Structure 1
């Protein structure tokens, strides 16, 4: 089990009630709380609170990413439960500005941006006398803020960029900043984090804090997303120089709760079971409905259900399938103990034993070594051609138990892209990466419409016609509460 070390203990304390870590929010969630700190210890607690604040958006993120992509879907086409219908709308592309999942994600994200801004206020950073420690705190929190803005800009387009305290009157006059301005802010934050975290190391008591390698990796993903391959290439080379070009952890061990923060994990959002208020909800959320205790104690909600297609696309012998997903569970109370039906498949990556519902141990990986190797392979293909990226693509396949791709199979960049895109789908399945990949490759609309009309017969069973999606649905609507707050200033995304 995970060590009950200082980082986790402090995280629990933050989420259980310290004012510096308060997650209570209003629609004006970008207005700072005005907390001030007196010494390094209080600042450290505030920084850890920013890590804790990453959980709330992540808990709902799968509804805005995986569920909208082709790896997962809802498990029913006839439920009338309102919470189910709100998530179903995201699966079908019929969400509107009143969607509760979108508002929850938005408010939780801006709440933590607010916490980050409070830590980064010059008067607060100034209480840390040790220059190296002060830079470390700043680098950690700038990474977290950049991570949030990176998700927001990819999901919503133009964002509200807030990096300092605003009065209520000032906040009410603020409009959305452009996508370009948002990416500039993200890059500035991450470049500062890379510089500030140089040479910073942590002992076992602080596993999970941001490292320079994590900042370089996230910045590389930002550059890759906006097509700046040369900038991404240099950063990824730096990470590979540190992490190596071999994957040393078996795929199943990456997600083993007894081996968390292993060498594969570059950055993860940490969870801890034990009724501390920081347990992972995903074991129960993703387990099949009406599965009793056969998958996880307390039954499952049957949400984020793996599609028939994804269950069938793993090549024979691919070691990642058994660690990632199952098409059945075993019910020893049945005459035939193996239950296989339309509703018995589930995502396995984030399932571990629980004593209390929604209180599992599993951390959620945000950046992994394999992700870096695949990004490096992608960038090298674009800058230097297929042969240069192939060794890194094949390393990911080697760990999966698959044969290497021969150079003759990918003679041109387009052929390499096809193989890499499939590899990223399987390697990072159910980790909230697929939607963002499809969008940046320009393949989201085509892929989702094929899923609706061809590859997933589930959608034919609805009592109404499930329509194809269009380009405008790639962005989510700004929550209606935000529009209502500033109706004369804030613009909604098109067609909502």
Structure 2
């Protein structure tokens, strides 16, 4: 079992959430020789705090962590399914099924040919386990005799916010899902059907509005950093509107409609899109982003800035994703996984640690991402003749974020220099499979195999770029605030601002590129491409580079299709992949959980119970 780290105070546990276990025992399950009832759990604030801490474990953690489920697509960073990263190994693994177009309902969630219930519970059913734990706290905290009204209000806000985060994750993955806003009692029907997407979204926004009313702006002292506050609720409202305004949902027809043979086609289509385009959603999304930004800044959240774009910047930007600071002061919502007393075969390191030549080295960076980094001095793309880019010194003078995201030929780590040229072990031993790059982001300066792995869920920089995107879509590229907020993100890395645009579509592409650079490997790119229905990028050519080091300070780069064409790998895309599948067994229970189209069209909807 994965174990929680030894932590001395309760809310250090909360700060270190989210911690997952491989069992899904009931929250109030009776331990041996101990009588636990709702009354005994909520008989004082100490025990109530423990219940809240347990609920905090349910903040979704979406980075891969379970080696035993390696053949599922969930054993990869979702950004590895896009143009910015890939898998080094091409002979096994869930991502391979994605690249080849072999994803099905049988291997999307579990390894092909198996029925691994634990793997299934990592996703759809576990969301509801998390929601129930949180809503039990909401329902019962009023019982605490020594708690004042302020305490009860805050705890309800935190617990309800945890439930809302789980609903938001399902919203962006599945569309509409069954919504229950309270802890279901023993005499109530525990099942609810899917409702139209607009109805589900309104229910989620109502829940988040309650969180805004109940949550404080800050929870002092500083040791409480990491707990959910008003900015988290407003930021999630902004994300709901932002995702809803995007073309995947904001359309008159789904990206992949239900089949014409479906007798309930129209009502089923309404589960995965709004059935009409509503441009005003972009205005609502922009307003929600600004409200979240204003609250976050009032509460003390800020971009991590040093003012020094040398070692200080590199150290601090690096620590934003790796240190025990847990993203302070920029991270509004964060999630953690801690491995204690586990063999390396189940840790983040066996997947992503790049230093050992025999590690798996998932999360291989593509040349597609490398080409997105502008030149530091001019702020221009590498492809611009005026940028100052030297193809013989391809890694000199790039955006400083490049060096904290990517391991490239000549990078140094723990006192060692990396080489990816044709004479290096990385090229020879891996039969040329290296793209020429590895993943640096999220790796501390020195590494072992028992780690606290941090996942940023919502950063202030993300909110700034969301706001810029929404302003462009709502008001067009002449809006001055677009450049103000993109400029804030670039300025903290010492980068010049982007130029002004006259074309909305061109500026949209520029903002998506900025998001790919700033939020690389945080699973943001995957969802950006989903929102915008960018099948052209999902199926684009993946580039690596063959490097010849001339030993005179100059390099020769030769781009090649990655993986090598001799391995027969060419990425494909199917539009029904825009929506996750529900477990077939859950659909067949017959309570109204309608399967998403394309995955199991012979079993779209079971006979009602």
Say if 2:566 is the partner of 1:450: no
Higher-helix-fraction structure: 1
TM-score by length of 1: 0.81
| Structure of higher CA gyration radius | 2
Cα shift readout 1:217-256 (whole Å, capped 9, x = no counterpart): 1211111111223333333323433555973424334224
1:473 alignment counterpart: 577
Instruction: State whether residues 542 and 563 of structure 2, in contact with CA within 8 Å, keep that contact through their aligned partners in structure 1.
Output: yes
Match of 1:188 among 192, 206, 212: 206
Q: In structure 2, the residue corresponding to 1:366 is in which secondary structure?
A: strand
Instruction: State whether residues 32 and 165 of structure 1, in contact with CA within 8 Å, keep that contact through their aligned partners in structure 2.
Output: no
1:40 is displaced (CA, Å) by 2.2
Cα shift readout 1:279-336 (whole Å, capped 9, x = no counterpart): x943442224xx53x7xxxx63322332231133222321111111213577999997
Instruction: State whether residues 372 and 513 of structure 2, in contact with CA within 8 Å, keep that contact through their aligned partners in structure 1.
Output: no
Say if 2:437 is the partner of 1:345: yes
1:101-180 alignment, distance < 5 Å = 103=120, 104-120=122-138, 122-127=139-144, 129-163=147-181, 164-165=183-184, 170-171=189-190, 174-180=192-198
Instruction: State whether residues 6 and 206 of structure 1, in contact with CA within 8 Å, keep that contact through their aligned partners in structure 2.
Output: no
Match of 1:440 among 507, 531, 548: 531
Greater mean alpha carbon deviation, residues 153-162 or residues 59-68: 59-68
2 CA distance for matches of 1:58 and 1:106? Answer: 16
2 CA distance for matches of 1:205 and 1:246? Answer: 18
2:45 alignment counterpart: 40
2:597 alignment counterpart: 494
2:403 alignment counterpart: 322
1 CA distance for matches of 2:123 and 2:560? Answer: 28
Say if 2:431 is the partner of 1:423: no
2 CA distance for matches of 1:13 and 1:236? Answer: 26
Say if 2:49 is the partner of 1:52: no
Match of 2:291 among 225, 238, 241: 238
Instruction: State whether residues 67 and 90 of structure 1, in contact with CA within 8 Å, keep that contact through their aligned partners in structure 2.
Output: no
Q: How many correspondences in the alignment?
A: 466
2:606 alignment counterpart: none
TM-score by length of 2: 0.67
Instruction: State whether residues 23 and 111 of structure 1, in contact with CA within 8 Å, keep that contact through their aligned partners in structure 2.
Output: no
Say if 2:76 is the partner of 1:71: no
Cα shift readout 1:255-294 (whole Å, capped 9, x = no counterpart): 24154342111121134566599xx943442224xx53x7
Q: In structure 2, the residue corresponding to 1:394 is in which secondary structure?
A: helix
Instruction: State whether residues 160 and 177 of structure 1, in contact with CA within 8 Å, keep that contact through their aligned partners in structure 2.
Output: yes
Structure 1 unaligned blocks of 5 or more: 16-20
Q: Aligned Cα RMSD in Å?
A: 3.8
2 CA distance for matches of 1:88 and 1:162? Answer: 36
2 CA distance for matches of 1:371 and 1:12? Answer: 22
Note closer, same or farther for the CA distance 1:377–1:330 as it changes in structure 2 (3 Å cut): closer
Instruction: State whether residues 282 and 351 of structure 1, in contact with CA within 8 Å, keep that contact through their aligned partners in structure 2.
Output: no
Match of 2:484 among 367, 374, 391: 391
2 CA distance for matches of 1:237 and 1:14? Answer: 28
Say if 2:338 is the partner of 1:282: no
Instruction: State whether residues 47 and 141 of structure 1, in contact with CA within 8 Å, keep that contact through their aligned partners in structure 2.
Output: yes
Instruction: State whether residues 285 and 300 of structure 1, in contact with CA within 8 Å, keep that contact through their aligned partners in structure 2.
Output: yes
1:18 alignment counterpart: none
2 CA distance for matches of 1:413 and 1:334? Answer: 43
1:433 is displaced (CA, Å) by 1.0
Instruction: State whether residues 208 and 237 of structure 2, in contact with CA within 8 Å, keep that contact through their aligned partners in structure 1.
Output: yes
